[in-house]
Structures are given as C-alpha cells and as structure tokens.
Structure 1
Amino acid sequence: MKLTISRLADRPDLAEAMWTMPSSWPEFMRHDPIGGLYYGNVETRFAEFVLIAQDDAGEVVAVAHSIPFEQGDGALPENGWDFVIRNGLLTSLHGRQPDTVSAIEIAVRPDRQGQGLSGQMLAAMRENAARHGFATLVAPVRPNGKDDVDEPMRTYAFRVREDGLPVDPWLRVHVRAGGRIHAVAPRSMVVPGTLEEWREWTGLPFDRTGPVLVPRALTPVHCDLEHGVAVYVEPNVWVVHPTGAGGARGAGND
C-alpha cells in the first residue's frame, strides 16, 4: 500500500483524525504518567517530529511519533522510553540544542496491520530525522512478540532465527531497516496504579500480593495488596539507526 505521509506541522488539520485513529495498544499502556508529558505537548512542541500516513482514500491509517533530545556523550540510558520523553521535553523547555532523535511510537490502525505499514513509517521517521540534520535515530523498541513473561529481555532481545534475524517480529523490522540492536533498557516504561485502576484497565481481580500475569504485558505486574497498589516495569530494547545525515547534530551511541 502506497502511503501519503505528512508531518503534523504541515498538516495540523489532521490532528483530530490522528488522535481518534483506533490503535491496538493494551489499555494499561495508555496510563504511563511520563507518556502524558509527551502527548500533551505534541501539537505545540513536537509537531515537526510527528508523521501521519493516509491511504489512497485520505483515511489516516498510521502515525509515527518521535522526539529530539539531548544525549551528549552518555550511553543510552536504562530507563529508555521514560528518559527520552523527560529529556526531550526539558531540552525543549530550556531551549537547549538536541543532538539525537528517539522514536516514541509507531501505531498502525488495527485493520491495516500486516500490510508493511510499520516498516514504511520507520523509514519515514528515519528520513525525517535526517531532514532535520540528525545523524542518529534511536528507538526504545517494545518487542511485542515476547509472550514468555518470565524470560529475561536480555536473552529474548538477542535470540535469532536460522537466517540470523531476530525472532521478534518488530525487532526484525528494525534490523531489516538497517538498525542495530544495542542494549536492553530494563526499566524503559513504568506504569503505577491503584488496584482499582489496574482492575479497570485489565479486568483482572488483583486480589493477592505477588506477580500478576496481564495479557500483552512483557513482564509480570507486581501487586501489593496490603498497600493497594500495583506497578508494571517494562523492559525495552535500544535499537540504533544511522540516518545518513551529515552528522552535525548527531551524537555517538557507543
């Protein structure tokens, strides 16, 4: 499927369709408190780094979010997704110069999944970073093919098939696109909530202290019945993409 891909900065009229596009993210992931810092500032601060895809009929079928941030010479952090959002927002608020772009999310409308749209959006995200002069696009990737919550991400992330490509479908898209698996971010996203909130998000009872297996979570959710709270700590995988830009604004990642 050939897509028409626009930046939100150029097509602010597509904002409503972008926000209302159905997605397949599990409900609990919509309640990461750090994520709200990004999405609440998308239209005013990061519209140049939001890509919206339309099909031949003009329907919005995919969205790619990214954020410029200030990495400096430091290693990619263990709190990947949460870190780049906080850092990117602070970089913008303080008027500092970002040196790297991080992917935040690629979402494809559920009825258009399996048609290669995510790969096209990843390529467009990388091209957009290069257009802004950034030599590197990094991505705290959520390997959503991981169905064994007890397997550590440090082993799953580096598992490969006979052809040498990752066993995880989403990591495979990144590697095929020229990305390099760099490291695991063991606490990339943290979603805290009361037990009542977790029951509402998941439909599960959360009635005993200990790990709770939540569908589509990559690790168990830790439930503390006595204190009435539960916390999900999600590991992601850092993937580094060269953009082909000259590198004046790009930072090293090793």
Structure 2
Amino acid sequence: MDASADPQLTITTLSERPELQGPLWAMPDTWPKFILNDPVGWANMGRIVAELPEYVLVATDPEGAVVARGFSVPFALDTDGRRGLPATGWDQVLLWAFSDRRHGRTPDTVSAIEITVEKGMLGRGISGRMVAAMRDNARALGFGELVAPVRPNGKHLVPQAPMSEYAFRTREQDGLPHDPWLRVHVRAGGVVERVAPASMTVSGSLEQWRDWTGLPFDTDGPVTVPGALVPVNCSTAHGYAVYVEPNVWVRHRL
C-alpha cells in the first residue's frame, strides 16, 4: 500500500507536541527483547527525547493516537578521526552525537536512529512517510544530509547470508533493493552506501539470553534467534553469548 493510504496522518516534532512523550514510549512495537538490551541504546535513547525533542518525530491518527515515531540525532561527521560512515554504525553515531553535545562541536549531519510503526498499522505506507518527514525535518533544521544505519527488515529471514551480499540484492523488475526497508529509503531518495558490520553489540549471560529469547542456549557456536539478522555466538564454557548486528548505511542528500 502506498503512502497515501493514511492521508489523515499528522506528523510533528516532539518539541511541537511535548505532551506526546508518554504515548510515544507506550506505543506497541515489534522490537525483539534482546535488541532493547544494547547498552548504548539503553543509555542514550531516553536522552534523545529529553535533550533533542526537535529531532524526534511523532505521527498521530485522526483520533490523536500515536501510530509511529522517529528518532534522529545531529553529529559532526566532517571532523578529525571521522569523515566516513563508521563500521560500528548505530552505536557509534549515538556516542558521537552526545560526545559532540558535551564538547560543543557543531554538527553537520543528521543520523536516523529509529523509525517504528505501531504493530497494528504496518503495511499502510507509514514508514515511507516517516522517512520523508525525517528528511524534511533535517532540511528544516539546516542540514544538507541525512544518513541512516538501516536495519533491513527482511534480513532475519536469511540470517546465514552475509550482509555484504544481502544489502546489495536488487529486484529484476525495477532494480530497487530486494529488502523492503532498504527499498523504502531508496524510493525516498537515499543511496545504499556500505555495510556497518558491527553496528550494534548485545552481550549477556546465557541466563539473560534464555530470558530474552526463550531458547536453551546450551550449545557452543552460532545460535539462530528469531528476529536476529545474524546468528548469536554462544560460549557455554564461559557462560555468555554475544550478538554483533550488521546494518546498512544509506545516505540521503537533502
């Protein structure tokens, strides 16, 4: 379904409608439990809402219910030690963004951090409208570029496939990306640039992983976990497992 399927959708920044902060967090979503235990995200997502509300988008339906949210952060890319989209993707731009705020660096780029659609509203073109709104918001804030460490939403179906191959799969009929979420970004004007092979890292004890996934985690080696883009590496001898998620950098010129 195309983006016109929900013409009554209203998209604003959280700074314009701060009363939506509670409903924004309460919106039902489909994130796997283990993803919420990435320590960089756990420590910094709340800071985006508290410190950067002008970079937070909230979509509401005609009844005023929150049906989508979008988080982004400004950071300095054209500076010593950077000048390239990092291999450590999602985690790294969050760390850069708040380090830059602490040290008073002037940002020159906006990075998408999350776009989430309420699980009952999926398939209605809302994700494409949120990408377009995030581009528009970055432009309105004076930026010429939006980048996104995209988590391809079809990759979990083929966890053994290397992201370096999957990210560049295209459809025969139109040459657009095979992955639906990458396709949304390209249709909005983005260009698939490179893989971030270690975009997010989640580590935990075997007990934690059993709680997060319901799986036994009783065998050494790679474990296929529902919702994970690649297998989780398990060490029963040492009592822990580690998930290193690859994402895909997409660059939007504004």
Do the two structures share a fold, i.e. TM-score over 0.5?
A: yes
Contact in 1 for aligned 2:58/2:66 (Cα 8 Å): yes
Alignment partner, residue 75 of structure 1: 84
Separation in 2, partners of 1:27, 1:195: 15
Alignment partner, residue 214 of structure 1: 225
- Helix, strand or coil at the partner of 1:208: coil
Alignment partner, residue 41 of structure 2: 35
Alignment partner, residue 132 of structure 2: 123
| Residues 99-110 of structure 1: pairs in structure 2 closer than 5 A | 99-110=108-119
Deviations 1:87-134 (A, max 9, x none): 001111222111100000000000000000000000000000001111
Structure 2, unaligned runs of 5 or more: 1-5
> Quick check: 4-13 or 228-237, which moved more?
4-13
Deviations 1:205-244 (A, max 9, x none): 001111100011110000111111110000000000012x
Q: Structure 1 residue 142 and structure 2 residue 160: aligned?
A: no
Q: How many matched pairs?
A: 243
Alignment partner, residue 7 of structure 1: 13
| Residues 107-186 of structure 1: pairs in structure 2 closer than 5 A | 107-146=116-155, 147-162=157-172, 163-186=174-197
Structure 1 residue 40: Cα displacement: 2.5
The share of aligned pairs that are identical, in percent, is 56
Separation in 2, partners of 1:101, 1:160: 27
Alignment partner, residue 90 of structure 1: 99
Q: What is the aligned-residue RMSD (CA, Å)?
A: 0.9
Structure 1 residue 38: Cα displacement: 2.2
1:91 maps to a residue whose letter is: D
Structure 1 residue 37: Cα displacement: 2.7
1:50 maps to a residue whose letter is: V
Distance 1:43 1:148, change over 3 A: closer
Contact in 2 for aligned 1:23/1:107 (Cα 8 Å): yes
- Helix, strand or coil at the partner of 1:174: helix
- Helix, strand or coil at the partner of 1:124: helix
Separation in 1, partners of 2:58, 2:49: 13
> Quick check: 22-31 or 38-47, which moved more?
38-47
Separation in 1, partners of 2:159, 2:22: 36
Separation in 2, partners of 1:40, 1:109: 19
Pick aligned residue for 1:53 from 44, 56, 59: 59
1:203 maps to a residue whose letter is: G
Contact in 2 for aligned 1:80/1:185 (Cα 8 Å): yes
Q: Structure 1 residue 44 and structure 2 residue 55: aligned?
A: no
1:122 maps to a residue whose letter is: V
2:119 maps to a residue whose letter is: P
Separation in 2, partners of 1:227, 1:80: 28
Contact in 1 for aligned 2:48/2:73 (Cα 8 Å): no
